[in-house]
Structure 1
Amino acid sequence: MFIFPTLQAQESSFSLTGTTSDIKDGNWLYFQDLVNGGTLDSAEVKNNRFKFDTKLPEPRMWVMLHTKDRSKFVELWLQNKPMQFDASNKDFEEAEITGSISQLLVETVKAVYEDFDKISKAELRKRQEEFIKNNPNALISVRMLYEVSGKWGQETTGHYFKMFPEEIQDSALGKRILSILNNDNIPQLGEKYADFELPDRNGKKQKFSALTGKITLLQFWASTCEPSKMQNRELKKLYRKYKSEGLEIVAISRDTSKTDWIKSIEKDNLKWQHLSGLEGWEGQVFSNYGIKRTPSNYLINKEGRVVGRNLSDDELKENIKELLKN
């Protein structure tokens, strides 16, 4: 178990003073919490200037700053200190933002993933590990660790999580990692999958073990998640190509509306197996598999062992082809 002390509530001294170049007076800008969801605060633009004096619920936060119609938006890494936003001579999305440790590291993070499709997995992991080790005081490092936790496993994720100071560990992103570390049910690479039972589209309960194929992709998604729907388009190609050779896909949705769930399946013509308890993030299967974002996936071989997690489209294709050779 990984248990860390809770950070005491802190008084925020955050502010964001900004300038824009093409937003009309009377328009409003909004902070959207990118971890917990919801709008944190809003500010009116006057003479291409605005200011937020938000009392942050956490000392450091990852948010999106956007106009009401979202025609202009940019991700921000907030810290409980005065920050500046300057888009007076630039596009809104290219604004110069200062005052936050994580914000200063945005370009460095981009460099980590530069040419990611041309370098080896080992080289990419080396870059990620070096970034996290070199920047333990930045919230953006926690996001990176969270995104790779499924591939790195609990032991390695816990090793790097211990490097973060208490304030970072206790952030919303940190707590998401902690929930993964404290969940002993999550199948790790090389381990047998955890069986479960959920209703299908007709309300009939189905056991996962009865739906698996020679190779099984356990896919977590949602009809309201655009990245999920984008990945579904790629999965359709893989399914058409490899179903006859033994590939099966079982999709678990975090939808809460049965109507939306079925409508999306039918509209996008998704032919594989679909299950859902319609319990959103609170579903037991989501919890037992440590799923904190969609899309997520587990690739399972014919022996029922996990051989991949959160694989990209190209990685899925490569792994499926290799597994089908055996």
Structure 2
Amino acid sequence: MKKSITRTCIVAISALAVFSCQPGKTKQLQLKGKIPGIDKGVFFIGPVSKMDPDYKGADTIRLKNGTFTYSCKIDSPQVYMITGNMATGEPGLLFWAENADVNMKVSSPQLKDAVFTGTLNQQDFTDYIKLQNQLSDQQAAIFKEAESLSEQDTVKRELLRKKYEDFEKGQRNGLGDFVHQHPATVISILALNDLFHQPSVDIKELEAAYNGLTKEVKAMPEARQFGHDLKQTIALQIGKTAPDFSLPDTSGKMVKLSSFRGRYVLLDFWASWCGPCRQENPEVRKAYQQFRDKNFTVLGVSLDDKKDKWTAAIAKDQLTWTHVSDLKGWNGDVQKRLYLISGIPANFLIDPSGVIVARDLRGAELAARLGKLLKL
């Protein structure tokens, strides 16, 4: 699902987003650019975390004879976006905004050809965006292939699942390598946050990448926040007690995770709009049918925000176990703060005493692990 990488990138970027554009005597961001083939026009610019189709958080750039100059005081260095028209889907340009001179060079009227130069951080950010684009293209190709498969194409689906697992491993390695290669730049905090949100990331990978940062970078507020989140992540590792919570089911009745004590339970985070989740549902259903009479069940937690789509997906995919949701999408306390969910599908296999014994089981892995645990 292409949204997953895009969203992860924006989550990481938004973590650095504190902004203010106002007149001042101190040095400002000075962005200069020239767009050949366009004499006049209006573009929008602003912090990526504040951009929306209505441009409520954006400033404007007006071209005169194909050139422009934009000044803004940046209170905290962060990612900015320049875009022509978000409503029509025109892709935005991301660049690193700080109080320095930055140049935008475009070789054609197509904004996608723009190159930003001027600071070392901008060069590091350019490298980071190149990595993100490469990963996004690889992921999109896999999802396109998945769309052509039916539920009956079990062999091809299993091969594609393994292909996606290899992609996820390469993605983690790529992000980790970026941090190790850029230990003295704030851009590595973006990459660390991105790595932090990858499915099945090894805590040791995160610690190694974080510990490789320079003291100066670690002293930044964003790095300190990451260190705090890293400690929270440790609380969700295998061998730790799963944090308890209560959420309403499809009828509005509150369901508590601890009420499943005494059974193995798969805590499954998913959503009706999530293609990979829907692709995984037949495997979860198969495991549920095989082990439901052997002290196992599933508790589905949806990241939907519309009840009708949530319940329709449950019925269509024949998911007959308990389902709960606060219908707050990504922003519910359970998914966002308690379990730090930033990519789905995601799951936790919890034993009868409430301890996490496995995470992010995919495909036949769930049934295989249950078979060993239940000694069947």
Aligned to 1:30: 45
Matching of residues 1-326 of structure 1 within 5 Å: 13-20=28-35, 25-34=40-49, 40-46=57-63, 47-59=65-77, 61-68=78-85, 69-80=87-98, 81-89=100-108, 91-99=110-118, 100-106=122-128, 109=131, 113=135, 117=163, 125-149=172-196, 151-152=200-201, 157-162=206-211, 163-166=213-216, 170=220, 172=222, 174=223, 177-183=226-232, 186-210=235-259, 216-219=266-269, 229-246=274-291, 248=298, 250-253=300-303, 260-266=305-311, 268=313, 269=316, 272=319, 273-277=322-326, 281=331, 283=333, 286-291=336-341, 293-295=342-344, 297-300=346-349, 302=351, 304-309=355-360, 316-317=362-363, 319-320=365-366, 322-326=368-372
After superposition, what is the alpha-carbon deviation per residue over 1:77-106, rounded to whole angstroms, capped at 9, x for unaligned? Answer: 414122222333263223222231333313
What is the deviation of 1:16? 2.6
The aligned length equals 299
Does structure 2 retain, via aligned residues, the 8 Å contact 1:42–1:52? Answer: no
After superposition, what is the alpha-carbon deviation per residue over 1:202-224, rounded to whole angstroms, capped at 9, x for unaligned? Answer: 22110124469756143166x8x
Aligned to 1:6: none
Does structure 2 retain, via aligned residues, the 8 Å contact 1:215–1:320? Answer: no
After superposition, what is the alpha-carbon deviation per residue over 1:264-309, rounded to whole angstroms, capped at 9, x for unaligned? Answer: 3145456544423456736256322234x35462331556524225
- Residues 217 and 70 (structure 1 numbering): CA distance in 2 closer, same or farther, change over 3 Å? farther
Counterpart CA distance in 2 for 1:109 and 1:30 is: 23
TM-score under structure 2 length normalisation:
0.62
What is the deviation of 1:171? 5.5
Which has the higher mean CA deviation after the structures are superposed, 147-156 or 82-91? 147-156
Counterpart CA distance in 1 for 2:317 and 2:187 is: 35
Structure 1 unaligned segments of length 5 or more: list them: 1-8, 310-314
Counterpart CA distance in 2 for 1:232 and 1:95 is: 36
What is the deviation of 1:164? 4.6
Does structure 1 retain, via aligned residues, the 8 Å contact 2:172–2:195? Answer: no
What is the deviation of 1:244? 2.0
> What SS class does the counterpart of residue 268 from structure 2 fall into?
strand
Counterpart CA distance in 2 for 1:306 and 1:23 is: 59
% of aligned pairs identical?
16
- Residues 317 and 159 (structure 1 numbering): CA distance in 2 closer, same or farther, change over 3 Å? same
Counterpart CA distance in 1 for 2:61 and 2:348 is: 48
> What SS class does the counterpart of residue 320 from structure 1 fall into?
helix
> What SS class does the counterpart of residue 191 from structure 2 fall into?
helix
Aligned to 1:5: none
Amino acid paired to 1:42: D
Which of the pair has more CA radius of gyration? 2
After superposition, what is the alpha-carbon deviation per residue over 1:39-80, rounded to whole angstroms, capped at 9, x for unaligned? Answer: 653223424444432222412x23443223253223524141
Structure 2 unaligned segments of length 5 or more: list them: 1-18, 21-25, 140-162, 292-296
Amino acid paired to 2:356: R
Which has the higher mean CA deviation after the structures are superposed, 139-148 or 155-164? 155-164
- Residues 167 and 282 (structure 1 numbering): CA distance in 2 closer, same or farther, change over 3 Å? farther
> What SS class does the counterpart of residue 241 from structure 2 fall into?
coil
Counterpart CA distance in 2 for 1:55 and 1:251 is: 43
Does structure 2 retain, via aligned residues, the 8 Å contact 1:14–1:54? Answer: yes
Amino acid paired to 1:31: G
- Residues 183 and 299 (structure 1 numbering): CA distance in 2 closer, same or farther, change over 3 Å? closer
Counterpart CA distance in 1 for 2:367 and 2:109 is: 46
Does structure 2 retain, via aligned residues, the 8 Å contact 1:31–1:41? Answer: yes
What is the deviation of 1:19? 3.3
Counterpart CA distance in 2 for 1:112 and 1:169 is: 30
Query: Which structure carries more helix by proportion?
Result: 2
What is the deviation of 1:14? 1.9
TM-score under structure 1 length normalisation:
0.70
> What SS class does the counterpart of residue 317 from structure 1 fall into?
coil
